[in-house]
Structure 1
Amino acid sequence: MTQDYPTDSRQMLGRLRAAMAQDTGGQARLDQITHLIAEEMHTEVCSIYLFRDEETLELCATQGLNPQAVHETRMRMGEGLVGRVARTGKIVNTDNAPSTKGFRYMPETGEEAYSSFMGVPIQRLGEKLGVLVVQSKNARSYAEEEIYAIEVVAMVIAEMAELGAFVGEGAAMSARHQQQVLFHGATAQEGAAQGNVWLHEPRVVVTNPIADDPVRESERLNEAVEELRIGVDRMLSTAAGGDKEQLEVLEAYRMFANSKGWMRRMEEDITRGLSAEAAVEKEQSTARARMREVTDPYLRERLHDLDDLSNRLLRILTGQGKETGADMPANPILIAHNIGPAELLDYGRSLKGIVLEEGSVGSHAAIVARALAIPLVIHADQITTEALNGDQILVDGDQGVVHLRPDETVVAAFQDKMAMQAKAQERYTSIRNKPAETLCGTIIDLHMNAGLMADLPSLENSGAEGVGLFRTELQFLIRNKMPQRAELSELYARVIDAAHGKHVVFRTLDIGSDKVLPYMKVIEEPNPALGWRAIRIAMDRPGVLRMQVQALLRAAAGRPLSVMFPFIAQREEFTAARAEIDKALEREHILGHPVPIELKIGAMLETPSLAFAPDSFYDEVDFLSIGGNDLKQFFFAADRENELVRRRYDTLNVSFLTFLEQIVARCDASNTPLSFCGEDAGRPIEAACFAAIGLRAMSMRPASIGPVKSILRRTDLTELRDVIHQASADGLQSVRPRVMDYLREKL
């Protein structure tokens, strides 16, 4: 049954603003809000439930329920109708609450006397703060206008909470942005850093959610939207004649910026009492809620465009985010939802650490962070909401942990850890120019991974004997259009020059999977890691490979050159790719250009299939490099981007080490040089085991060379090999425990 109870949202917002303006404590404000909402909505009950932690809601204020239940009644996320609203983020509106699925009887509140129930989430741009509830004895289904009024009030409560309106004496909420917070994320680049927060996109704070003059607010909105449209048109004119994909994105921007429906909804919100900023944010919250539910990638991307436009519009309206003279703090640690490689490179080495809410271990940002040796933690959920510019922050990239506004005890412990690491680095410096020679007299060649010119100074400082992997895709990823052959040739020549005669292995373009070029059409695939990527793209679109090979040959200018193809799964792929180099060589001869005095062509062994390739492949290839990151995920069928499984399987698993030994044996039989490249090569324990089973070359990030060299110089590989084989003979799943015991005893 539905009854008409006239509700004027503007009148209710006006009273709400008056309540907010009073000089009272946080609890008193909440109590007053529940009283005026119940009065305006003609209901017996109005209650506000707020989150005490991520999973627990607490009754913090009520009009109509037992006042003794305030701060006593708690429920878990999803528990009861209130918990259901909190979990789903959707409104529950029923005229018979006790018979509604999920209803929970709470005798301490006395709510069994009330039939109707409407619960609305209190949230701000996706951050869940609590639930606002109204209840009546009559069997009453709340009308559309009433639902709208409560939604608007819930949004204003969220804004007021952001501004700290509910803290103080008798506070219902703790003061925001003041307590220490611990974030558990995932490691994307190891290392530790202490510094101060620098937000990549500072959060826009709406300080005036309720407005007096709807006419003036509508004018402000229209002026801001016009400025937004002019800005989008300017971007389009700048990009005219450029990349088609970029133009399509900007055209979508212009479509949204000129959307009459978007404008109409925001103007209706203003008519009902919201300020222009609050109206924009209300529509933005709606778009984000839809984004969470939409599975279609195209629709999600379009909703993301609308979200980005809303941010731009909010910055125009508030003036926040423009040039305000704010300076980056000392020792800046970048906080962002996500970030592209070009934007990250703009910051350069000024950053001490990076923390992202999204990202992946193989993302563009992670690649650049590794190249710059900056600690990176990903999946730090909600940190952009909690952090403020200038906040003290500690980033533990080794553990994937972030301490925001830490207390003195945590800071002291963290500084001790950093001091120990610094002391270890001093020890590594003393052996920088010494070979990685083991106690049994075996010399292991240690090389570094690189992808930017900024990496090359590390070649001398780290003690690396060369560059075992130069990732050529970074120069493609950080641009908005395809680089020219002359540009690439100049870059590759500078890399060879900077190596000062040391060996450099250039890996040809490794794109696809988690590395998609901004100007390349995205191909939706069920499983990109196993899909159209790396050499597969190069063979289907050979023009880019030919251009890159020509650039490499010209960069060598008669000097030795080593080129490696990524993701080779069978001999035919390598043969076809090598044929492209042969064609390019012939063309360079015809043109009279100098060709490399020595040309070595290798492959990355990243798929188990290549380990079982015919002997002719091992005879044909000049060298092999085990791509440990991909090989391990395919060997164990465990996606390295999936936090649920990526740490489940140990590199020192007996089966994986046995597999690597088989590869070593095949390369020894064919006299094919073999190296190991990947994160595990830079971990001292793993590196020692790789050396013990026969690997004589490894490539890793520059910072890992010192620790790896240190452990190798103190290890007898013959003894360690016996430990590994005995652990295998004893039926152990992993050799790690035995190896750790041995090393603890010997080192």
Structure 2
Amino acid sequence: MGQTQETESRKLLGRLREALAGSGAGQERLDRITTIIAESMGVHVCSIYLFRDAETLELCATYGLKAEAVHKTRMRLGEGLVGKVARTRRPLNSADAPAEPGFRYMPETGEEIFASLLGVPIQRLGQVLGVLVVQSKEKRQYSEDELYGVEVVAMVLAEMTELGAFLDEGAALAALHQRPVLFRGTTGQEGAAEGRVLLHDPRVVVTNPIGDDPETELERLRAAVARLRVSLDRVLDAGSSGDAEAMQVIETFRMFANSKSWMRRMEEDIARGLSAEAAVEKEQSAARARLARASDPYLRARGTDLDDLSNRLLRELTGQGSDTGAERPENPVLVARNIGPGELLDYGRELKGIVLEEGSVGSHAAIIARAWAIPLVINAPGITTEALTGDPILVDGDNGNVHLRPDETIANAFRDKLAMQAKAQERYASIRREPATTLCGQTVGLAMNAGLLVDLPSLASCGAEGVGLFRTELQFLIRNKMPRRGELARIYGRVMDAADGKRVVFRTLDIGSDKVLPYMKRTEEPNPALGWRAIRVGLDKPGIMRMQLQALIRAANGRPLTIMFPFIAQFAEFRDARAVMLEELEREKRMGHLTPERVEIGAMLETPSLAYAPRQFFEMADFISIGGNDLKQFFFAADRENERVRRRYDTLNVSFLSFIEQIVRRCDETGTPVSFCGEDAGRPVEALCFAAMGLRALSMRPASVGPVKHLLRRSDLREVRRVVEEARAAGDQSVRLALMQYLATLDLSSDPVASDQRATG
């Protein structure tokens, strides 16, 4: 681009800045901007479409189309060429727009006389706010320089839209970051919490997208980059004898920070009229878009590194968020787009709740939230844009709702709910040391699930009899490199020490599907949940499995050891994995190491196929744990990560309960102990049904032990069994309604356990 074009670009941005700084309502500003762009580019039409809601674009201002179409013309996301630009987040440059696939003619706009069209998304760091369109009567392809100019203008519009520059006077009171907002997400972990927002890696707000003087902006950029490089050098020098993997991450940052092409692109953006901050953000958005389209998962993952580097540079330029030691708000609720297990653990257990824009029910964050017994809401789009650190927030994990800056009526109702739950917890504490013995004399063993050493103090306080599932993969997921055998042995040993003689069931490494080790090359699979995961990885990569088994044997230090293998689909897999364990026991003996006084080797039954395994499997297994989360999704062929289907099928479905009963019967035939492990085990009404089906052991999150024990101690399993049998005989699809009616006759209607089940069931 020559000097003339650079001058024109700066001139256009200068006129835009004047329009944005001038007085007038939001509509006046939008109208002024479309006129400036059309006149500066010499085009016949300039139009601005903004999102009215998540799925609807609205024509908010135009120069060249019919004025009466403004605020009347709307289209769905993906509809027409404008909707296509919004959906794909890519520019569309067409010399003959009516001939383009998907073109939609809107007669009310009078656009039929315009042939060419250039549309670019108005977006900020991946969030699309609208579409900017220019059109001309003649058939023409817009040049690279023109495309660049429109993209820069669209970026400035995105910044100003997010800052509320186009809100009318009447709407100003409800501006961004001020009004109450309800976010409807998905339950990742049940529970409720009130607190203040703690933003993870808060976005830097760019308030000056247009530069006054290119030379001044260039000097600011170069000085900030120099400070960034020095800070990275300082971190490397300070940590030269520390964690090598962490140092490699910083070294990667330093490599990016010294990239000449990265610097050159930002300098060119400044020459065209952008401020230093806007130039950094424009390059950040462009890099993110490039890497998102990469086929190599490693390259796609580098987008996080570039985001981190760009955010560091923006903080250098603006001074925002530079005080990393800033005090956290009281009762912090973490709000993030997404977060890894290591980052989440850094925040510690003081968190009252977690809200994520992305995430999944099987993610690392969900696993840790369950272990910490704090509410988690996932898939809450837009919350990181709306929320500010310190904002009041209510997290309703039971229903997947988040109230940001709630009004007093909502807050008071929420506090009443919290008070009722606190009262129930006092009741559960009184039976903590009592057995879960039903009115008919049956005792159900209740264990807790864990995955971190910090979970173990809950063992004494929650009333669990042991750890029915210790997820060993978390120790692998929170590291940047494969842990060593000795390190794992120390961790497992401390877990057994903390359990103080109570039984701990160690599940061997369960990776794959949604759990991908950061240092292991990811295998792209069309359906990871049914792919190369858990025991399949262990048998194909026996070195990792043998190393972990050796660590477990040494951790026991002569004490009893209980392990189970995950995701067994057929007898041969369990037989082969068990043989590896027995070989490692013999090997440890030959080496003179102390071996466990007793070893139990079990399997997780998570696939329907294993319920039909040969009798020899049930005879060989020392115990079986039904992995309810996976078993249910495979039984109903309903992906538990898919919100459209995962709640479609009820756990208390007659068919599923009959299947559980069949598994119990097969285990009883061989005297094989069997338990149920999973989220449903911690739901009191579901737990009651499982016990009625013959299960005498359940494993759940620590916070669920009290509610489950409370309901079991007040119930007669024979009566529950009768209700199930009658519902089955009547051809009912689920026993839930009949069971809730039965519980109502026991005067449990005011019981928080029963009422919560009605709300969430």
Equivalent position of 1:191 in the other structure: 191
Equivalent position of 2:9 in the other structure: 9
Local SS of the residue matching 2:567: coil
2-structure distance, mates of 1:35, 1:650 = 57
1-structure distance, mates of 2:59, 2:257 = 41
- Displacement after TM superposition at 1:701 (Å): 0.4
2-structure distance, mates of 1:414, 1:291 = 42
- Quick one: which amino acid aligns to residue 123 of structure 1? Q
- Displacement after TM superposition at 1:44 (Å): 4.0
Within a 5 Å distance, the mapping from 1:133-172 to structure 2 comes to: 133-169=133-169
- Displacement after TM superposition at 1:442 (Å): 0.8
- Quick one: which amino acid aligns to residue 570 of structure 2? Q
- Displacement after TM superposition at 1:371 (Å): 1.3
2-structure distance, mates of 1:87, 1:467 = 47
Equivalent position of 1:599 in the other structure: 599
Preserved contact between residue 482 and residue 519 of structure 1 (Cα < 8 Å): yes
Quick check: 1:208 aligned with 2:208?
yes
Preserved contact between residue 57 and residue 76 of structure 1 (Cα < 8 Å): yes
- Displacement after TM superposition at 1:376 (Å): 1.1
2-structure distance, mates of 1:569, 1:43 = 65
The change in CA–CA distance for 1:493 and 1:134 in structure 2 (over 3 A counts) is closer
The change in CA–CA distance for 1:29 and 1:583 in structure 2 (over 3 A counts) is same
Preserved contact between residue 114 and residue 135 of structure 1 (Cα < 8 Å): yes
2-structure distance, mates of 1:486, 1:348 = 25
- Displacement after TM superposition at 1:257 (Å): 4.3
Equivalent position of 1:84 in the other structure: 84
The change in CA–CA distance for 1:58 and 1:518 in structure 2 (over 3 A counts) is closer
Within a 5 Å distance, the mapping from 1:242-321 to structure 2 comes to: 256-291=256-291, 293-294=293-294, 296-321=296-321
Local SS of the residue matching 1:37: helix
- Displacement after TM superposition at 1:276 (Å): 2.0
- Displacement after TM superposition at 1:176 (Å): 1.7
Equivalent position of 1:671 in the other structure: 671
Local SS of the residue matching 1:443: coil
Percent sequence identity over aligned pairs: 70
The change in CA–CA distance for 1:410 and 1:579 in structure 2 (over 3 A counts) is same
Preserved contact between residue 468 and residue 699 of structure 1 (Cα < 8 Å): yes
Equivalent position of 2:218 in the other structure: 218
- Displacement after TM superposition at 1:6 (Å): 11
2-structure distance, mates of 1:108, 1:21 = 32
2-structure distance, mates of 1:256, 1:213 = 27
Structure 2: which 5+ residue stretches go unaligned?
749-761
- Displacement after TM superposition at 1:361 (Å): 1.6
Preserved contact between residue 17 and residue 210 of structure 1 (Cα < 8 Å): yes
Within a 5 Å distance, the mapping from 1:26-41 to structure 2 comes to: 26-41=26-41
Quick check: 1:551 aligned with 2:554?
no
Preserved contact between residue 393 and residue 403 of structure 1 (Cα < 8 Å): yes
Structure 1: which 5+ residue stretches go unaligned?
none
Quick check: 1:691 aligned with 2:683?
no
- Displacement after TM superposition at 1:119 (Å): 2.8
Answer with 644-653 or 393-402: which moved more. Answer: 644-653
Within a 5 Å distance, the mapping from 1:29-178 to structure 2 comes to: 29-97=29-97, 102-169=102-169, 175-178=175-178
Local SS of the residue matching 2:631: helix
- Displacement after TM superposition at 1:396 (Å): 1.2
Within a 5 Å distance, the mapping from 1:513-592 to structure 2 comes to: 513-592=513-592
How does the TM-score come out when normalised to structure 1?
Answer: 0.92
Cα root mean square deviation, aligned:
3.0
- Displacement after TM superposition at 1:144 (Å): 2.9
Local SS of the residue matching 2:348: helix
CA distances 1:669-727 after superposition (whole Å, capped 9, x unpaired): 11111111111111111111110110000000011111111221122111211221232
Preserved contact between residue 25 and residue 171 of structure 1 (Cα < 8 Å): no
- Displacement after TM superposition at 1:505 (Å): 1.6
Preserved contact between residue 188 and residue 360 of structure 2 (Cα < 8 Å): yes
CA distances 1:144-172 after superposition (whole Å, capped 9, x unpaired): 32222222111111112223322352669
Quick check: 1:344 aligned with 2:380?
no
The change in CA–CA distance for 1:408 and 1:560 in structure 2 (over 3 A counts) is same
- Displacement after TM superposition at 1:448 (Å): 0.7
Equivalent position of 2:387 in the other structure: 387
Local SS of the residue matching 1:437: coil
1-structure distance, mates of 2:609, 2:666 = 14
Answer with 173-182 or 125-134: which moved more. Answer: 173-182
CA distances 1:111-166 after superposition (whole Å, capped 9, x unpaired): 44544443332111121222223344455543332222222111111112223322
Preserved contact between residue 243 and residue 481 of structure 1 (Cα < 8 Å): no
2-structure distance, mates of 1:99, 1:511 = 49
Alignment: residue pair count: 744
CA distances 1:371-421 after superposition (whole Å, capped 9, x unpaired): 111211111122212211111111111112212222222222222222222
Answer with 533-542 or 585-594: which moved more. Answer: 585-594
Local SS of the residue matching 1:645: coil
- Quick one: which amino acid aligns to residue 51 of structure 1? F
- Displacement after TM superposition at 1:595 (Å): 3.3
- Quick one: which amino acid aligns to residue 369 of structure 1? A
2-structure distance, mates of 1:493, 1:639 = 36
Answer with 52-61 or 258-267: which moved more. Answer: 258-267
2-structure distance, mates of 1:479, 1:297 = 19
Preserved contact between residue 183 and residue 401 of structure 2 (Cα < 8 Å): yes
The change in CA–CA distance for 1:258 and 1:92 in structure 2 (over 3 A counts) is same
- Quick one: which amino acid aligns to residue 267 of structure 2? E
Local SS of the residue matching 1:600: strand
Preserved contact between residue 245 and residue 520 of structure 1 (Cα < 8 Å): no
Local SS of the residue matching 1:145: helix
Preserved contact between residue 7 and residue 272 of structure 2 (Cα < 8 Å): no
The change in CA–CA distance for 1:502 and 1:96 in structure 2 (over 3 A counts) is closer
- Displacement after TM superposition at 1:536 (Å): 2.6
2-structure distance, mates of 1:418, 1:180 = 20
Preserved contact between residue 6 and residue 271 of structure 2 (Cα < 8 Å): no
Answer with 147-156 or 407-416: which moved more. Answer: 407-416
1-structure distance, mates of 2:56, 2:574 = 57
- Displacement after TM superposition at 1:296 (Å): 4.8
- Displacement after TM superposition at 1:241 (Å): 11
- Displacement after TM superposition at 1:102 (Å): 4.6
Equivalent position of 1:506 in the other structure: 506
The change in CA–CA distance for 1:572 and 1:244 in structure 2 (over 3 A counts) is farther
Answer with 365-374 or 689-698: which moved more. Answer: 365-374
- Displacement after TM superposition at 1:104 (Å): 4.5
Equivalent position of 1:489 in the other structure: 489
CA distances 1:214-269 after superposition (whole Å, capped 9, x unpaired): 23323433444455556667778899999999898777656654544433332221
Answer with 618-627 or 308-317: which moved more. Answer: 308-317
- Quick one: which amino acid aligns to residue 730 of structure 2? D
Equivalent position of 1:474 in the other structure: 474
Equivalent position of 1:741 in the other structure: 741
- Displacement after TM superposition at 1:515 (Å): 1.9
- Quick one: which amino acid aligns to residue 182 of structure 2? L
